[in-house]
């Protein structure tokens, strides 16, 4: 492969990766914005607790409940 073809391929691949990233972020933000607009506001404290506790899952959800309780939030 020549140098110009390699550069062209790298440039196209970079653009595709950027477009995929933007699309993924847009799709992830949609439900959040929709929920807030529909009257389901989420406080900063709850959002922080959800983010912190999302990895605390066991088979029955006890670790998640305990983590949310430590943050003063309902599950």
Using one digit for the tens of pLDDT, what is the confidence trace for 17-64?
Answer: 777 777 777 676 666 655 555 666 778 888 888 888 887 777 777 888
Distance CA 11, CA 9 (A): 5
Distance CA 10, CA 32 (A): 34
Using one digit for the tens of pLDDT, what is the confidence trace for 3-19?
Answer: 777 777 777 777 777 77
pTM score = 0.43
DSSP conformation letters of 36-53: HHTT----HHHHHHHHHH
Distance CA 5, CA 17 (A): 18
User: What is the Cβ-side half-sphere exposure of residue 75, based on CA atoms within 13 angstroms?
Assistant: 10
């Amino acid at each position: 492969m020549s140098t110009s073809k390699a550069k062209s391929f790298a440039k196209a691949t970079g653009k595709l990766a950027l477009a995929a990233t933007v699309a993924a972020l847009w799709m992830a933000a949609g439900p959040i914005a929709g929920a807030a607009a529909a009257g389901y506001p989420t406080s900063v404290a709850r959002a922080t607790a959800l983010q912190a506790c999302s990895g605390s899952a066991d088979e029955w959800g006890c670790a998640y409940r305990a983590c949310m309780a430590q943050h003063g939030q309902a599950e």
